[in-house]
């Protein structure tokens, strides 16, 4: 009995609390952090029950509600580091988390800055099982097409392996739990290195952000864009940052955060007016 109590005591003492874990994980990403803001944001870090990686690492998130004066704020769900070797995506997510604590946002935000912590640790696109999480979403066509597409179109590229079945991976299950729990109006996923804003959603005018042009790359069996937009009619914006290196001027991306907010508001308006016409 005493021994069991001792075990319990030591195991909880050794597990870093979630706020400290949030700070240390995000600080390890490239680029400058605002120390005070990061600690303040991470003090609010939370975790859904099903959000643990294949290797047992906690997948945390940060919530920021819209300002109280906003009558119908849109809900924006952000995933970064879906691919573990795309470090700048995590740096931008971290910068946005820090900023969200300083502003009174129009929209409600949930940010999951490190969806694939095992991939991040191993510096791999895939998770610990060698699965591309962004091909593992349970799209309607998954059973019929995902593995065939991988075999024929990618010539079994190991970086694009969709897994043995849809939603087989814990990171995918965590992302799905967030979609279910948060009920977003728009999903944003941050990637590298193609340098484009790729939107799966209703037709809207391209935003003015010349650094990263508006270009549709299409979606794939098992991808988040196909799962959310094609199957569920929820707009999905993919930000593909340039290159694989460090994002030098993180503050430039503040504007991109506001643009994402504009896109969420515009898209929802269009979709709602279409709904009324039906
Ligand atoms: Zn990616």
User: How remote is the CA of residue 238 from the centroid of ligand 1, in Å?
Assistant: 9
Residue 192 CA, ligand 1 centroid: distance in Å? 6
CA of 83 to the centre of ligand 1 (A): 5
Q: Would you state the pLDDT for residue 14?
A: 56
Mean pLDDT for the stretch of residues 242-270: 86
Q: What is the mean pLDDT of residues 52-77?
A: 97
User: Strands, DSSP E only, in 81-136?
Assistant: 108-112
Closest C-alpha among 274, 73, 278, 275 to residue 185: 73
CA atoms within 13 A on the CB side of 224: 31
Residue 8 has pLDDT above 90, yes or no: no
Rounded Cα distance, 98 and 109, in Å:
12
Q: What separation in Å is there between the alpha carbon of 8 and the centre of ligand 1?
A: 39
- The Å distance, Cα 82 to ligand 1 centre, comes to 6
pLDDT of residue 153: 95
* pLDDT at 157 > cutoff 80: yes
Higher pLDDT, residue 148 or 211:
148
Q: What per-residue confidence (pLDDT) applies to 274? A: 83
What's the confidence (pLDDT) of residue 278? 62
Total-model pTM: 0.93
Q: Which of 260, 263, 255, 251 is nearest to 95 (CA)?
A: 251
Question: Rounded to 5 degrees, what angle do the CA atoms 23, 28, 33 make?
Answer: 65
In order of their start, the domains of the chain are: 32-60+94-277 (3.40.630.10)
Report the separation in Å between the CA atom of 133 and the middle of ligand 1, taken as the mean of its atom positions: 9
């Amino acid at each position: 009995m005493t021994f069991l109590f001792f075990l319990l005591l030591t195991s909880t003492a050794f597990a870093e609390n979630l706020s400290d874990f949030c700070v240390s994980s995000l600080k390890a990403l490239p680029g400058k952090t605002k120390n005070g803001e990061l600690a303040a944001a991470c003090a609010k870090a939370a975790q859904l029950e099903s959000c643990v990686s294949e290797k047992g690492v906690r997948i945390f998130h940060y919530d920021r509600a819209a300002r109280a004066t906003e009558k119908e704020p849109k809900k924006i769900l952000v995933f970064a580091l879906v691919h573990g070797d795309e470090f700048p995506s995590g740096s931008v997510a971290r910068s946005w988390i820090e900023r969200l604590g300083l502003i009174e946002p129009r929209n409600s935000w949930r940010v999951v800055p490190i969806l694939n912590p095992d991939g991040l640790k191993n510096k791999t696109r895939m998770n610990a099982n060698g699965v591309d999480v962004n091909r593992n979403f349970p799209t309607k066509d998954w059973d019929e097409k995902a593995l065939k597409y991988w075999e024929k179109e990618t010539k079994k590229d190991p970086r694009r392996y969709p897994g043995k079945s849809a939603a087989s991976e814990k990171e995918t299950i965590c992302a799905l739990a967030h979609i279910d729990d948060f009920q977003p109006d728009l999903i944003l996923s941050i990637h590298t290195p193609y340098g484009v804003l790729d939107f799966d959603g209703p037709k809207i005018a391209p935003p003015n952000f010349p650094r990263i042009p508006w270009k549709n790359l299409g979606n794939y069996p098992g991808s988040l864009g196909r799962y959310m937009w094609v199957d569920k009619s929820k707009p999905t914006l993919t930000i593909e940052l340039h290159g694989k290196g460090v994002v030098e001027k993180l503050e430039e991306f503040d504007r991109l955060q506001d643009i994402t907010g504009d896109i969420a508001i515009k898209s929802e308006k269009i979709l709602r007016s279409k709904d009324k016409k039906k």
